Structure 1
């Protein structure tokens, strides 16, 4: 079965992530944008969430 056009399920860690279910992308927790796994650079270990950019991650994780 192909992993194309299927969201992956990941476990985010401090220095990387572990693939729990194969896929080719994840979804940004804020914008809903698709992020290809090879382009994924920003995530939160505590929230277990992916972010499309540094600016989006900073805004999402900023203290309220």
Structure 2
């Protein structure tokens, strides 16, 4: 996970840029919202995302479902 040193945690939703091996915090926050289920995902728990779609997923199953051709 890549984080900007100038980022400080806030209580709202974070804005991230998703890369192939981590993400960069563009706007500090405590969570992101799963693109498939709409549930909040704390940044500490975020494990699945799409670089191409620039969106996070709560579970591997949701990520797989979204990325199916």
Which category of TM-score, normalised to the shorter sequence, fits these structures? over 0.9
Match of 2:44 in 1: 38
CA RMSD of aligned residues (A): 1.3
Gaps of 5+ in 2: 1-7
Higher helix share: 1
Higher strand share: 1
Q: Could you state the TM-score of these two structures normalised by the residue count of structure 1?
A: 0.93
Count of paired positions: 62
Gaps of 5+ in 1: none
Structure 1 stretches of at least 4 aligned residues deviating more than 3 Å after TM superposition: none
Q: 2:55 aligned with 1:58, yes or no?
A: no
Match of 1:49 in 2: 55
Relative distance call for 1:62 and 1:9 in structure 2 (3 A) is same
Q: Deviations over 1:11-56 (max 9, x none)?
A: 0000000000000000000100000000000000000000000000
